[in-house]
Chain A
Amino acid sequence: MSQDTHPYIGFEEYSEHVPPSIPLAVQQATSRFVGGRAARVAELPQWEQLRQIGSDIRQHTIENMDVYLTLLEEKVVAAGGHVHWAETAEDARRIVLQIAKENNVKNVVKSKSMATEEIELNHALEAAGIEALETDLGEYIIQLAGTGPSHIIVPAVHLKKEEIAALFSEKLDIDAPTDPIELARIAREVLREKFLNAEMGISGGNFLIAETGTLVMVTNEGNGRMCTTMPDLHVAVVGIDKVVPDWESLTVFLKLLARSATGQKLSTYTQFITGPRRAEGEFGPKEFHLVLLDNGRSKILKDPIGRDVLKCIRCGACANVCPVYKNVGGFAYGSFISGPIGAILSPQMLGTQAARELPYASTLCGACADVCPVKIPIPTILRHLRRRVAEGDAFAIPTISTPIRATANLASLALAQNWIYRLGARLLPIINPFFRKNNWLSNMPYPLNRWTKVRPLPPFGARFRKWWNVRSTKETESPR
């Protein structure tokens, strides 16, 4: 997945074909998480202060990313780990496959990792004859179903328990009950064997602490621990933007992350992994590989406004409050990451040709910016990327469609040359009788049909200017 090769993301088309069950399911998840978040935020009077500090630290880190990554590499190596630099998604896949090949890996267990979805690692592993099993329950389910995630935190929330039971029954050749607790137990049993027998565990990472070369993983189920403790080989694929300066900084993000994501104070398990195990008896991998993924992030760094997207800690709070996301779900965004953060990351990572519709997938309501734990100014970046699409900037030529550009040209002319506007305002009421019904206008022609197919338009009736003129004339003629 990279620029120039990513298929076109037709948000309008996708959003028009969303089965109603998806927004319904997504809204149940988002309202649960929003409620949880609100409760946790109310408990912390210093919340706004934490957000500001979190924002400042992320800002500082991305502005000094080379320094911190260099230190990180040094420390990981000193702890006995291996560091690989993946400039592109292709590089990352190649590196992971190479490690697998060198170690005769046939079975991989994967912990939830958006970075590995970003680079489409599973396909590459499977093509090489390696079984790559998702072990996070939600990811396991959607892997069986062959679909993408509908929500960042609960990727399978769009599926009903009956559907999941049917899926398990079909794929595992069993008679699965529809009780979620039973289904989770089945997954536990199936995956337990896999954990114990896999040669390699692949994970992502939530943070990378430069100070000591430590990988931080924030999880709930225990599969993250399993994948990084049971196999002899652990490969972590992590975006370069996940680096944090030190442990002190991390305290801020650990306080912000789970609260923002699900309304927990802390997730069930937070692991701090520095290199491979030091003794056999303690369990843990013999070999630790950290694959640092660039895939366009270093290029995004060049844009002082757009690069704020790199502050993201992947909590999903923005999606949980976004009225657009809540009405369409994750699939409409056409990539591994959805919601407001997806709308500003995909155009920068995949380019404003493939993702030109995404910056417009928002009413700029600003609810996301209010909840982002690291204060990413999402509406500002959305406008900034709309500029890139509509008029182009230092990073890309414009990619807006011709009809829209023509409309904008016309609008600009009519609104700047006020005589045109005022003439138009006087003339528009002429068309009212053709479309009027019950004091509203309906069934209007293109382009106004895009409005009237949803709800009627008030009749055109610009009478204020005339009224004002008459009034002013009367006043001058007969002063009070």
Chain B
Amino acid sequence: MPKAQLFITCLGDQFYTSTLQNMTHLLERLGVELTFPPEQTCCGQPLFNNGFEDKTRPVALNFMHAFAKSDAPIIGPSGSCVSMVKHHYPSLFREGTPEHALAVDIASRTFEFTEYLVNVLKVTDVGAVYPHKVTYHASCHYLREMGLKTEAKALLNNIKNLEFVQLNEEETCCGFGGAFTVTYPEVSRSMMENKVKHIIASGADTVVTCEPGCLMNVAGGLHKAGSKIRAMHIVDLLSSKEELV
């Protein structure tokens, strides 16, 4: 029975408890034995991406120590958070130090959720049902830093009764960019409104994404625009058993 550790992400922790619960149930249903190290807080990406490398180090160390207690793979529902660990943690520490070795080890066994499902468990059909029109927003780090170009769609493809509609400018940034939303709020606004406009124009009643950050941004934007379109994390969509009435 495969083992894995849950990496819940700081945004997931604060705002998306039900998504995390769904992720837990889904993975367990697929036969994964899960543990949850409670010392985890945040991967440190907001600090790192804004140039605070020295201040990121203690945060990264906290993360690594939390997940070092087990040697099981680490799974997180966020491409950007996972990318932080995989691609940037080793660079935070000097080569030859034990911290660097630990970072390399942790990096090698951290996976994004859809990556784990499709590329490790080799599963693309989890028996989900969602009889609605769905469009997909490809999050930037998930797409470009993690290189996950087909996994999300492979999973969406197998959701029963789901009608997929292509989002115009699917790969254009939604304007979240982490701290960017509070560094340049007006530019973030323009970008978010552009994404919302395309989502509404797609004719979908649901937009799905693989990033809690994009989700927060887009869901809030859709609400502000008075739209009834649901914004969901792919974990929640994959957990759906909504039968046709």
Contacts and interface: CB of A to CB of B under 8 A. Distances in A.
Do A and B touch directly, given a CB cutoff of 8 Å in the complex? yes
Interface of A: 11-12, 15-16, 23, 323-324, 327-328, 359-367, 369-370, 383, 385-391, 400, 408-409, 411-412, 414-418, 421-422, 425, 428, 438, 440, 447, 450-451, 453-465, 467-468
Nearest to B11: A458
A458 B140 contact: no
B53 A412 contact: no
Given A324-B187, A363-B176, A454-B220, 20 more contacts: A323-B194, A324-B184, A363-B191, A367-B140, A367-B173, A390-B51, A391-B55, A408-B55, A409-B55, A412-B56, A416-B41, A418-B41, A450-B181, A451-B182, A455-B192, A456-B220, A458-B216, A464-B13, A464-B21, A468-B38
Interface string B207-226: 00000000011011101100
A389 B183 CA distance: 14
A391 B52 contact: yes
A364 B140 contact: yes
Nearest to A409: B55
A451 B182 CA distance: 6
A141 B191 CA distance: 30
A451 B44 contact: no
A457 B16 CA distance: 12
Main secondary structure of the interface of A (DSSP, over half): helix
A387 to B, nearest CB: 4
B17 interface: yes
Nearest to A414: B41
B92 to A, nearest CB: 11
Contacts of A386: 49-51
A369 B140 CA distance: 12
Given A362-B180, A366-B144, A323 B51 contact: no
Interface stretch (B59-67, B114-122, B126-134, B158-166): B59-67
Contact of A391 (B51, B188, B190, B221): B51
Given A15-B184, A450-B182, A383 B51 contact: yes
Interface hub of B15, B145, B184, B224 (most chain A Cβ within 10 A) = B184
A388 B54 CA distance: 12
A408 B220 contact: no
B17 A364 contact: no
B59 A363 contact: no
Nearest to A469: B38
B47 interface: yes
Interface string B145-180: 100000000000000000000000001110111101
A417 B175 CA distance: 30
A323 B188 CA distance: 10
B183 A23 contact: no
A16 B36 CA distance: 43
Given A440-B223, A460-B15, A324 B191 contact: yes
B220 A464 contact: no
Given A15-B187, A365-B173, A415 B44 contact: yes
27 contacts: A12-B184, A359-B51, A360-B183, A365-B140, A365-B173, A367-B171, A387-B51, A387-B53, A390-B51, A411-B47, A412-B56, A414-B41, A416-B41, A416-B58, A416-B62, A418-B66, A421-B42, A422-B41, A425-B14, A447-B182, A450-B181, A455-B224, A456-B223, A461-B15, A461-B17, A468-B24, A468-B36
Nearest to A412: B55
Contact of B184 (A11, A411, A440): A11
Contacts of A408: 47, 50, 52, 55
Contacts of B44: 415
Contacts of B171: 367
A467 B51 contact: no
Nearest to B222: A455
Nearest to A447: B182
Contacts of B242: none
A147 B4 CA distance: 59
A415 B43 CA distance: 9
Contacts of B12: 464
Given A323-B191, A363-B140, A421-B42, A412 B52 contact: yes
A455 B14 contact: no
A390 B144 contact: no
A63 B42 CA distance: 39
A120 B98 CA distance: 52
B186 interface: yes
A425 B172 CA distance: 32
A465 B173 CA distance: 31
B127 to A, nearest CB: 21
Contacts of A366: 140-141, 144-145
Give the 9 A-B residue pairs with the shortest CB-CB distance, closest first: A363-B177, A386-B51, A390-B51, A455-B220, A416-B58, A412-B55, A365-B173, A365-B140, A366-B144
A451 B184 CA distance: 10
Interface in B49-91: 49-56, 58-59, 61-62, 66
B39 interface: yes
B185 interface: yes
A361 B184 contact: yes
A457 B215 CA distance: 11
A422 B48 CA distance: 21
A458 B50 contact: no
A365 B187 CA distance: 14
B206 interface: no
B20 interface: yes
A359 B179 CA distance: 13
B106 interface: no
Among A23, A367, A414, A455, chain B packs the most CB atoms within 10 A around the CB of: A455
Nearest to B218: A455
A117 to B, nearest CB: 24
B3 interface: no
